[in-house]
Chain A
C-alpha cells in the first residue's frame, strides 16, 4: 500500500495535467524516491489511483530506464556514464575500479545492500568526463582517489 504521504504527493501533481494518466510518470518517480524501487503492488495502486489498468503503468515503468521496476537497488545507486565522451577519458577504468572496490559486477548490489552499480548512457556532463551519478547527484572529473572519497562519504 502506498503511504498517505506518497498518495498526497501524487494527488498534488494531478493538477499539472489535463488527465490523470499524465501523472503516471511523476507518480512512479515519487514512489521510487521514497522506496528506491517500484513493486508490483505499487503499480497496481498507481493504476487504481489514475483510473488506468496496471499494465499501462507497467508499460511506463518498463519503458523509461531510470525506473527500477521490481528490481530492488542498494541504498545508493551508482551509475557510471560509459558513452563516448566519458569512455574516451577512461570510463572503462572507472567501472573496473568500482567493481573491484565493491567486489561486485556491473548490475550487482553489495552484500550489505549499500551500493548498486550500473552503467548508463550519456548523462549530459561530457565536459567533466569521466563522471557518474550517485542517486540524484553528479560526480565529475573522476579519479580513483575521488571515487574512494565519494563512496566513503556515503553510508
Chain B
C-alpha cells in the first residue's frame, strides 16, 4: 500500500527496516532472532501478560514485552542481553511453579511449547517446593472433541481470546483470579459451541486436548502428509497424520497455509471417515439385483461395452467437485473426447444456466480474489451466503480482520447467523428474493447518479420500478435498502462475498451483476469473492466440468445437458449410459422423488465413490474410488488459490484413485489416452488453460498460487430470471424452507465420520426464537415437519434473529433428507411445523 511509512531500528546491533507500527517481536523475528512467546498469538489481540518475550531497549530502565511494543525509529533493541536472558528464565520458573509437570502422561508431550521453551531457555533447576495448586483430580470432558486439564494451564488466555475474537462464540471464560484462575466453560459444563477445536490448537500446553486423539500416539510416531481440507471451498491447508495406517489427527499449522491455525470442526475432526470399515474395496457389479464382487478387468470390460455401444447424445457424466483438478480435467476429457458426449456437470444441486450466469457475474473467469485483500475494503458485503455454517473459516477470517478494522461488514441473508454479531448491519430478506434487494439497492444508487449510470448494462431492467416495490418483494424495509446503498456510495472499495444461495435459489444473479457493474462505473474498487461449499467447486469449473463451457471457460463445440436435463432425459428413458463420480445425486438433487424415478430409468449406471451411497445402491456397477488422503494432485479453492496435496496412504483394498480409474476407462476405450500421472496431467492443464499457465503450486507453497485471469468472459447462455412477485401466503404451509450445509456437516461425506456424528446425530431444524416461543418448544424439542409430499421428525435448534417464517433444514441427514421437501422447478419450498408429541 502506498503512504505507508517505514522505520529503521537496530536489533542486537543489526539494522532492520520495517513498517511503522510493527511490533518489536516481529521486527526481531524478521531480523532472524528468536524470541519465545506464550500469550502472543498471531491474529489475536495482544495482551502482553506472560512476560516471556521481554527485550531490552536502550535508554529504558525496564524490560519491555516485545509482543505489544511497537518499534520506533532508531531504537536499539537487544534480545540477548544478560538481563533479558535472566528475565526469560525467571518467567519460565514462575510458569512452572503451578504447572502440573506430568509430561509423561500428557498428550502434548514432545510438541509442548512449554517443554521446548524450558529445554531451550531454562531454568535447569526449580526452586519451588510448595504444594502446587490443583484445579481438579481427573481431566474433564468439555465436548465430544475437547478434554481439559486445567492443572497444566499457563494462563496465556489464547483459548479464551480465540474463542471470542476468531470463532465468535465466547463460550470460554476465566473463572476466578490470581493463581487460582481457570480458563473454562460456564460452571465447567459441556460446551455448546462450534467444536472447531481452536482452543486446542492454540493451547501451548496440554490443557485443552483433542478427545479423539487421546493417548493415541506421540507425535514422533506419526507419518504426515500435507493436503487440503476435503469439505468446503475455503480450502484450508491441513496436515493429516497416521499411525499404523489409521489416520489419527488433522492439524493446521502456523506458517503452512493461509488459514494459519484455523480450521472448523469438519476439517479438524472429520478425518475419521478415512478409516471407516465401510469403505468400498472392490468393484461391484449388479447381477440379478445383487452386487457381486468383480475384478477391475471385468468392470472395465463392461464399461467399454456399455459406453461404446451407447448413443453419445445419451451418455451422461457427473463428477463431484471434491475431486482433484487433475481428475476433473481428465474426466471432462474422457466424456468429451472418448465418450464424445457434451453432457457433463459437477453438481446435481444447481442448474447449469444459473451456475454459468453466477460464474460470469462473480467474475470467476477473470481472476482470483484473495480473501485477505478483499477484507481490506471499506465495505464488505456478504450476500446469498450461509457463511457461518458453510464456510466457517471464511467466517473466522471476516471476523478477526474486520474486528481490527471495525464495522465494515454488511450481511444480507434470510437466516440469522453467527457473523451477524460482527457486522455493522444485517439485512433479512425473504428466501429467494435476494434479487429484489440487490436490484432495489442498484436502483437507489441509480437514482443518486442517473447520468453517470445511464447505459450501465442491465440498468434498463430496473427502470420503471421503485425501491419501495422491490423492497416489498424482498421483504426488506426501504430504510435498510437506503442505508446499504448509502454505505456502498460512501465506500471507495467494496468487496462482495457471494455465496451459493444464488445458485440454490437461481435468483439474484442479475442483481449481483447489475450492482457490480454500477459499483465499477462509480469508480469503486470492486472485488467479488464467491463462497462455495464443495472443496474443489472452482477447480471443477476451471477444468470445464460444465455442459456450457470447456476448460478455462473456453467455448465448447456443442452445449450439453446439466444434471437437470440428464435426469429429465433419463426419466424419459433417453439415457444409455451414466457415469457418476462421487456425486450422490439421490440425496442431493432438490426433488428426491423425481431423482429416484429418473435414475431408476437410466441406462447403464456406473457409480464411483468411497462409500455405498444411496445412488450407489441403485447403480449397475460400483467402482471403489479413493479419498483425498490417498491422492496427489491440486485443488483450487473459492479464491482461485491452487494448492498441492500429497497422499498419506494408499487406497483401500483394490480401490484406486479416481485419476487411475478415469485413465483406465479412457485407455480401455481409446488406447493412448492420458496416463494416470497427476504431474503429467497437471502439465497438460497448464499447457491448455491460460488461467493455469506458468503455475507450479508446490507442497511447500504455504499460501498456494493464485490462478491468473483467463481473458475469457462467459457469454450468457439461457437468461436466468429474477423473481418479480412476492412469495404470497400459504396458510397450510406457512414456513419457507431453506437448506444448506450444517456447520458440522458438508454434503453426506461428513456423515461417515464417527466423530462428527458424535457432535450431531439426529436431523435438526433451525427455527426462529419467535416461532419457538409460539410453538412452546426449545432446543432439543421434537417437531414434525410436513411438506406437500412428505414429512419427518426433527430436533429443534432455536436461533435468535431469524424471521419467524424462515426455517432451515441441513441437507446432510440421511434419516430426513431435506431434498424430500423440494419439487423440481420450485426453489422455495414451504412446510408446516407442528409439535411432535408421540412420547
Direct contact of A and B (CB under 8 A): yes
Which among B170, B172, B186 has the highest number of chain A CB atoms within 10 Å? B186
Residues of B570-611 whose CB lies within 8 A of A:
none
- A55 near B185 with CB under 8 A, answer yes
Given contacts A53-B186, A70-B187, contact A59 B170 (CB under 8 A): no
Residues of B346-395 whose CB lies within 8 A of A:
none
Question: Is B171 part of the binding interface, using a Cβ–Cβ cutoff of 8 Å?
Answer: yes
Question: Is B177 part of the binding interface, using a Cβ–Cβ cutoff of 8 Å?
Answer: yes
- The residue in chain B whose Cβ has the minimal distance to the Cβ of A40 is B187
- Which residues in B have their C-beta under 8 angstroms from that of A54? 186-187
A59 to B170, CA, bound (A): 12
Question: Is B175 part of the binding interface, using a Cβ–Cβ cutoff of 8 Å?
Answer: yes
- Which residues in A have their C-beta under 8 angstroms from that of B170? 52-53, 55-56
- Which residues in A have their C-beta under 8 angstroms from that of B817? none
- The residue in chain B whose Cβ has the minimal distance to the Cβ of A47 is B186
- A58 near B175 with CB under 8 A, answer yes
Given contacts A43-B186, A53-B186, contact A59 B174 (CB under 8 A): yes
Question: Is A63 part of the binding interface, using a Cβ–Cβ cutoff of 8 Å?
Answer: yes
Question: Is A62 part of the binding interface, using a Cβ–Cβ cutoff of 8 Å?
Answer: yes
- Which residues in A have their C-beta under 8 angstroms from that of B177? 62-63
Residues of A105-138 whose CB lies within 8 A of B:
none
Count of B interface residues, CB-CB < 8 Å: 12
- Which residues in A have their C-beta under 8 angstroms from that of B187? 40, 54, 58, 70
A59 to B186, CA, bound (A): 9
- Which residues in A have their C-beta under 8 angstroms from that of B59? none
For chain A, the bracket of interface size reads 10 to 19
- The residue in chain B whose Cβ has the minimal distance to the Cβ of A48 is B800
Question: Is B173 part of the binding interface, using a Cβ–Cβ cutoff of 8 Å?
Answer: yes
- Which residues in A have their C-beta under 8 angstroms from that of B172? 55
Q: How far is the CB of A33 from chain B (nearest CB, A)?
A: 22
- The residue in chain A whose Cβ has the minimal distance to the Cβ of B193 is A53
A59 to B171, CA, bound (A): 11
Main secondary structure on B side of the interface with A? mixed
Which among A43, A55, A56 has the highest number of chain B CB atoms within 10 Å? A55
- Which residues in B have their C-beta under 8 angstroms from that of A40? 187
Q: How far is the CB of A21 from chain B (nearest CB, A)?
A: 11
- The residue in chain B whose Cβ has the minimal distance to the Cβ of A52 is B170
A126 to B170, CA, bound (A): 41
- A55 near B176 with CB under 8 A, answer no
A115 to B175, CA, bound (A): 27
- A62 near B175 with CB under 8 A, answer yes
- The residue in chain B whose Cβ has the minimal distance to the Cβ of A53 is B170
A56 to B170, CA, bound (A): 8
Q: How far is the CB of B157 from chain A (nearest CB, A)?
A: 12
- Which residues in B have their C-beta under 8 angstroms from that of A63? 174, 176-177
- The residue in chain B whose Cβ has the minimal distance to the Cβ of A59 is B173
- B171 near A53 with CB under 8 A, answer yes
- Which residues in B have their C-beta under 8 angstroms from that of A58? 173, 175, 186-187
A40 to B170, CA, bound (A): 18
A44 to B175, CA, bound (A): 15
A43 to B172, CA, bound (A): 15
Q: How far is the CB of A78 from chain B (nearest CB, A)?
A: 23
A78 to B836, CA, bound (A): 53
A94 to B170, CA, bound (A): 44
- The residue in chain A whose Cβ has the minimal distance to the Cβ of B170 is A53
A43 to B170, CA, bound (A): 15
Q: How far is the CB of A53 from chain B (nearest CB, A)?
A: 5
- Which residues in A have their C-beta under 8 angstroms from that of B186? 43-44, 53-55, 58
- A62 near B185 with CB under 8 A, answer no
Residues of A50-71 whose CB lies within 8 A of B:
52-56, 58-59, 62-63, 70
A52 to B172, CA, bound (A): 12
Residues of B166-222 whose CB lies within 8 A of A:
169-177, 185-187
Residues of A63-89 whose CB lies within 8 A of B:
63, 70
- Which residues in B have their C-beta under 8 angstroms from that of A55? 170-173, 175, 185-186
In-complex Cβ contact of B176 among A52, A53, A62, A70 (8 A): A62
Q: How far is the CB of B244 from chain A (nearest CB, A)?
A: 39
- Which residues in A have their C-beta under 8 angstroms from that of B171? 53, 55
- The residue in chain B whose Cβ has the minimal distance to the Cβ of A65 is B177
- Which residues in A have their C-beta under 8 angstroms from that of B169? 53
A54 to B193, CA, bound (A): 13
A40 to B186, CA, bound (A): 9
A1 to B502, CA, bound (A): 44
Q: How far is the CB of A56 from chain B (nearest CB, A)?
A: 6
A63 to B176, CA, bound (A): 5
Residues of B765-789 whose CB lies within 8 A of A:
none
A62 to B182, CA, bound (A): 10
A59 to B174, CA, bound (A): 6
A44 to B185, CA, bound (A): 13
Residues of B240-268 whose CB lies within 8 A of A:
none
Q: How far is the CB of B113 from chain A (nearest CB, A)?
A: 25
A55 to B174, CA, bound (A): 8
Q: How far is the CB of A73 from chain B (nearest CB, A)?
A: 18
Which among B169, B170, B185, B187 has the highest number of chain A CB atoms within 10 Å? B187
- Which residues in A have their C-beta under 8 angstroms from that of B176? 62-63
- Which residues in B have their C-beta under 8 angstroms from that of A43? 186
- The residue in chain B whose Cβ has the minimal distance to the Cβ of A64 is B177
A63 to B173, CA, bound (A): 11
- The residue in chain A whose Cβ has the minimal distance to the Cβ of B175 is A62
A62 to B183, CA, bound (A): 12
A58 to B181, CA, bound (A): 12
A19 to B771, CA, bound (A): 28
Residues of A10-68 whose CB lies within 8 A of B:
40, 43-44, 52-56, 58-59, 62-63
- Which residues in B have their C-beta under 8 angstroms from that of A59? 173-175
- Which residues in B have their C-beta under 8 angstroms from that of A70? 187
- The residue in chain A whose Cβ has the minimal distance to the Cβ of B421 is A51
- The residue in chain B whose Cβ has the minimal distance to the Cβ of A56 is B173
A53 to B172, CA, bound (A): 9
Q: How far is the CB of B192 from chain A (nearest CB, A)?
A: 10
- Which residues in B have their C-beta under 8 angstroms from that of A52? 170
- The residue in chain A whose Cβ has the minimal distance to the Cβ of B176 is A62
- Which residues in A have their C-beta under 8 angstroms from that of B174? 59, 63
Residues of B415-450 whose CB lies within 8 A of A:
none
Q: How far is the CB of A39 from chain B (nearest CB, A)?
A: 10
A114 to B517, CA, bound (A): 76
A40 to B188, CA, bound (A): 11
A62 to B174, CA, bound (A): 9
A59 to B187, CA, bound (A): 10
- Which residues in B have their C-beta under 8 angstroms from that of A62? 175-177
Which among A43, A52, A59 has the highest number of chain B CB atoms within 10 Å? A59
List residues of A whose CB falls within 8 A of some B CB.
40, 43-44, 52-56, 58-59, 62-63, 70
List residues of B whose CB falls within 8 A of some A CB.
169-177, 185-187
3 closest cross-chain pairs (CB), A and B: A55-B173, A55-B186, A54-B186
Q: List 11 A-B contacts (CB under 8 A).
A: A43-B186, A54-B187, A55-B170, A55-B172, A55-B185, A56-B170, A58-B173, A58-B187, A62-B177, A63-B176, A63-B177
* Known contacts A44-B186, A55-B175, then 10 further A-B pairs from the complex at CB < 8 Å, ordered by chain A residue: A40-B187, A53-B170, A53-B171, A54-B186, A54-B187, A55-B170, A55-B171, A59-B173, A62-B175, A62-B176
